[in-house]
Amino acid sequence: MLYIPPAFRETDAPTLHAEIRRIGFCSLTTIGADGPLVSHLPVILDTGVGPLGQLRCHVARANPQWRDTDFSKPALAVFMGPDTYVSPSWYPSKQEHGKAVPTWNYVAICARGRLEVVVDRDALLAHVAELSSLNEAAFPEPWQVSDAPADYMERQLRAIIGLRFTIEALEGKMKLSQNRSEADRASVAAALSASPGNNARAVAARMQVDKPR
């Protein structure tokens, strides 16, 4: 699915599941008669289904992807974590030999699997309630499905189609300067930690966790 040099490869399912939950949003690509179809969707991961888990999401009923997809072919869900530019000027080794070029550090998870459509009203309501609860949990006054008028929610449910994505293959690319020397890596992490950008600081934090193997 992904080109992943060995230094950046992550295959541990619990680690990848944790990253999927942290990101919570994917680009879902399927194949239709005229080529690829893509939607960007919030998801719920259920690790209790199958060996690698199941993703649950939904699209607008007006979105043609659910109608035009060839469900006999695998689908692809890509989760992008933090990413940032890395300057070669941050490498101490550049001062020694000058053999350094710019690059980009990032986290990406790729899941391949089979999709099925969900149209059952009660299943859709449960999905929306679960997705809302998951994302509202940190708020002091979490919004709940029951806060909306019942007739309004019924119209909203009729306007969506549920999707279940059973994962058959899962891999991650954690490109976090693991191919550099410890001195270069520490210098990059320090530079990113001092950056004003949230993404840069998030990558720096990941570099402290994902050490070279």
pLDDT digits (tens, 9 = 90+) for 80-114: 999 999 999 999 998 888 888 999 999 999 999 99
- List domains and CATH numbers for the chain: 6-84+105-179 (2.30.110.10)
pLDDT digits (tens, 9 = 90+) for 23-81: 999 999 999 999 999 999 999 999 999 999 999 999 999 999 999 999 999 999 999 99
Distance of alpha carbon 170 from alpha carbon 199, whole angstroms: 24
Tell the residue number behind the tokens 């520490």, with chain if given: 186
- The yes-or-no verdict on residue 213 having pLDDT over 60 is no
CB 167 within 8 A of CB 53: yes
- The yes-or-no verdict on residue 175 having pLDDT over 70 is yes
Average pLDDT over residues 124-143: 96
Average pLDDT over residues 3-11: 95
- The yes-or-no verdict on residue 211 having pLDDT over 70 is no
DSSP 11-57: --HHHHHHHHHHH-EEEEEEEETTEEEEEEEE-EEETTSTTT-EEEE
Tell the residue number behind the tokens 């950008």, with chain if given: 197
pLDDT at residue number 42: 98
- The yes-or-no verdict on residue 210 having pLDDT over 80 is no
Question: And the tokens for 3?
Answer: 């080109």
